[in-house]
Structure 1
């Protein structure tokens, strides 16, 4: 296997880690409106991800940075062609981070309500847009012979991309509901488990349609295996959620996300961005890669730093593993 193929796999792993981790905290952000009944319950939900949400975003920075270094042509075409949706995602992530930090700085109800709205919308919008972006990347976009994006925003708005956006939105919200059930106690835990059951059914219908569409359009044997794993894991997550086994349900919902991302990348390979104008103009893992020397240096750095990052994040989740409920929120916490 060539180094550019190795880095294609590593970037797929980085995006998988990002969607697994950021997926549930996007879901928690959406649930601040769908699940929480008052300010105290919203505070409980926010506190479940308070110690980890910023660490989860490290995976996005690493995935984007690795793409820039390992596949500069892929990075350039992706970030120029998808400039507007990626800019909206970036703005949402900035506003969302500010909202987490500023919500509790003042006690006025309007102040906190406005920041809570920001958390909701700045979680919902990226959750939808990431699915649309990756769907378009797999489907193919207008790329010219010079490796540059040759289309416009309307080329990114199509039924397949919209369905992909709905899949990630519902899947992340389901993932977040299972996480909320895993991390809370009392009535909010029961309602989170009940809501996760309903969300899971909607997610299953949308995901089945999207993944089958992907398989029929550009899939192969590997992507078919990933599709089957995703479906079985989602069904297992629903079953475990119904039985009150939140840990198993959360793990299986994570497997669903990982398998779905794997299917997209397997459908994509050896391309990294197919051209809808001419297959010969598609960006591939080979023609979009950096020099072998650059990839070699990156491999050594990744081999040293990746275990450190994984160990640190695992330690963080272990330290903040306790469940919380409304009884843990002081009366004056707002």
Structure 2
């Protein structure tokens, strides 16, 4: 069994970049066990023996997907979205007044909450973004989570995690006991399958890249490689947002920390450029409609009127 576990970890490292060790043994085994039972295998040893056989490509894909499904929720950690609303978006809107174009990449999109959170913030800026072309590209290794993301249907539990009640009422439609994000917001996000270990230059250039809570699963060499390639597709004055527990310490990269914003990074050549800021949009407030039965989130500030962008 120890040899089988080590072999599985090496397979995951080579094919997905994930670094697993004995400290994550329970996590690894618990996630592959449903596959072992489904395929009626004797255990981890037989699963590992199958992984490198061409006829087992489907099982190999399922194993990688099982290990790469990460937790996410709307407006996770809050601070990165406050930075987007108050710092990066205003700065780039000021810098792009001529071309009126912005491209944003959610590089570990999972089931879509991060990308849709960004789209909902952009909706707040719609009066200032009239006539702009804005693209949100969301990628993930797992086809399974991308399928859920494209549908935009979330359980009561999922919409109660991090999503302000007024945004639920403004941007979602209730379907039985679930909630589906509006066609308007869904149309602003394009989901694509992508392995960060592969070439992603075909995605084009981006002004803002969210790559949160995924680099922690890679070793230092792969982290540096991914960040180097991301920097090459980042606009000279663009921004990269990493997760709260991620840093560039010990990594050779052309990115530098924003002087005032934790978790926000820029190209080194842009480090001495003052980041322009202006107040986020303020809209007339109106009384919040009654919350649906069973919605446990506290009623927050009054809901803004629905607006469109693009």
Q: TM-score, with normalisation over the residues of structure 2?
A: 0.26
Which protein has the bigger helix share?
1
Which protein has the bigger strand share?
2
Greater relative CO, 1 or 2 (CA 8 Å, sep 6+): 1
Q: TM-score, with normalisation over the residues of structure 1?
A: 0.24
